[in-house]
Chains A and B, each alone.
Chain A
Amino acid sequence: MNEPRVELVLALADDDLMVGHRHSEWTGWAPVIEADLAFSSIAQDEIAHAQLLYSLIGDPDALALGRHPDQYRHAIVCERPNGGPGTPHRVEGGGGDWAYAIARQLLYDTADDVRLEALQRSAWDALAHAATVIRLEEHYHLEHARLWLRDLAATDLGRRRLAGGLDAVAREALALFESLPGEEQLLADGTLPVPTADLRRDWRSRVTEVCAAAGLDEPAWGLDGMGGRTGLRSDDFEPLWEDLTGLYRAHAGATW
């Protein structure tokens, strides 16, 4: 397996795993039980997508749970707690902000849809097939984000909270399309049919459209790159990694 392909799959799968784990922290704490179930399901979908992607390059459990913190390749926005950067690690006890969580879900799932759409044309057949399978479930995720955005934007308080959440996510979300290690080779051999910079442009215009449809301003965009794709992590990652991998590490070599 060539290195740039491994780096690409890790970027995609680690994003799904971290976002899925953060979504799962709402289980039991979302605003109403129906929202709780829907968001928990989306969390499970994201983790199932990560599993499918990891299986292209190795053992999903070992890749998801057996790596050192600096070996992950997700964008930093995916590891942030549900209240935003630097907020309490867990949702329980009032740590989360539903507006931030919905804003992240919207920007992340739109980004995922844009890049998966491109990857359906990948010269790497197994990846193209995985992208097609995963996209079947993204429709539900996008509808979920769009409807919550519309309904939260219907009141003054909701609009204020949403604007704050969208800005906090947008400051870090451009880095979802940070250029990948080995991107030139991925483009040359057709694994990645579209450069990340072009994907980012398409994604930004789709996000702006959805915001406009809900009567919201384009969010304030931030940094192009934050180093997530080369293993740079924020202080918010360590407690997430402890939660995610603790059980697996406590029983090294166990069969599950």
Chain B
Amino acid sequence: MAVFEVLDDGDRVVGTLTAPDADLALLLARETFFRRDDGPYAIRARGTETLRRAAARQPGATDRSYRRPDGYVGVGRKFTRIRAALRERGIAPVRRER
């Protein structure tokens, strides 16, 4: 097992990961650090200068919108709307048991 540094395409260190070899490190870095990003990136074994570069992912193959955190935006407002709708219909909101 070796430790690799992961760099974005501006060669800025964005994190580290542990993998048995550079091939697997390059593959696993994609999902560990760039799940929502299709751009190119690189890795290098810690303490060395040799870079291994991964090409950009084919963008928009299938719908990946489910990977974005935007779905959580406005959850509080949504709850408020649901509580109001429940009140209107005379249904008691569900209380979490303590």
Render A123-138 as a binary contact track against B, CB cut-off 8 A, 1 for contact: 0000000000110110
CB distance from A83 to the nearest CB of B (A): 23
CB distance from B69 to the nearest CB of A (A): 15
Residues of A near B57 (CB, < 8 A) are 140
- Whether, in the assembled complex, A196 has its beta carbon less than 8 Å from a beta carbon of chain B, the answer is no
Stretch among B28-36, B44-52, B72-80, B86-94 lining the A interface:
B28-36
Cα of A38 to Cα of B33 in the assembled complex, Å: 10
CB distance from A159 to the nearest CB of B (A): 15
Contact at A133–B27, with CB atoms within 8 Å?
A: no
- Within B3-45, the residues touching A (CB, 8 Å) are 17-21, 23-24, 27-32, 35
Cα of A49 to Cα of B18 in the assembled complex, Å: 30
**Chain A interface: which size bin?**
20 to 34
Cα of A39 to Cα of B67 in the assembled complex, Å: 14
Contact at B32–A147, with CB atoms within 8 Å?
A: no
- Whether, in the assembled complex, A9 has its beta carbon less than 8 Å from a beta carbon of chain B, the answer is no
Q: Give the number of residue pairs across the A-B interface with Cβ within 8 Å.
A: 56
- Whether, in the assembled complex, A52 has its beta carbon less than 8 Å from a beta carbon of chain B, the answer is yes
- Whether, in the assembled complex, B64 has its beta carbon less than 8 Å from a beta carbon of chain A, the answer is yes
CB distance from A196 to the nearest CB of B (A): 25
CB distance from A138 to the nearest CB of B (A): 9
Cα of A196 to Cα of B21 in the assembled complex, Å: 37
Contact at B32–A52, with CB atoms within 8 Å?
A: no
Task: Give B61's nearest chain A residue, CB to CB.
Answer: A136
Contact at B62–A52, with CB atoms within 8 Å?
A: yes
- Whether, in the assembled complex, A144 has its beta carbon less than 8 Å from a beta carbon of chain B, the answer is yes
Residues of B near A151 (CB, < 8 A) are 20-21, 24
Once A143-B27, A147-B23, A147-B27 are accepted as A-B contacts, the answer to whether A134 and B32 lie under 8 Å apart by CB is no
Cα of A34 to Cα of B29 in the assembled complex, Å: 7
Contact at A34–B19, with CB atoms within 8 Å?
A: yes
Q: Please tell me the number of chain B residues within 8 Å of chain A, measured between CB atoms.
A: 22
Residues of A near B63 (CB, < 8 A) are 48, 51-52
Residues of A near B31 (CB, < 8 A) are 34, 37-38, 40-41
CB distance from A137 to the nearest CB of B (A): 5
Task: Give B64's nearest chain A residue, CB to CB.
Answer: A48
Cα of A170 to Cα of B66 in the assembled complex, Å: 33
Among B17, B19, B27, contact of A144 (Cβ-Cβ < 8 Å): B27
Task: Give A52's nearest chain B residue, CB to CB.
Answer: B62
Once A32-B18, A147-B23 are accepted as A-B contacts, the answer to whether A38 and B62 lie under 8 Å apart by CB is no
Residues of A near B30 (CB, < 8 A) are 38, 140
Contact at B27–A137, with CB atoms within 8 Å?
A: no
Residues of A near B28 (CB, < 8 A) are 34-35, 37-38
Cα of A41 to Cα of B37 in the assembled complex, Å: 13
Besides the known contacts A37-B35, A38-B32, A147-B27, 4 further A-B residue pairs in the complex with CB atoms under 8 A apart: A33-B32, A37-B31, A51-B62, A134-B62
- Enumerate 24 A-B pairs (CB-CB under 8 Å) in ascending A order: A34-B18, A37-B28, A37-B31, A38-B31, A38-B32, A41-B31, A44-B66, A45-B62, A48-B62, A48-B63, A48-B66, A51-B62, A51-B63, A133-B61, A133-B62, A136-B58, A137-B61, A140-B57, A144-B27, A147-B24, A147-B27, A150-B23, A151-B20, A151-B24
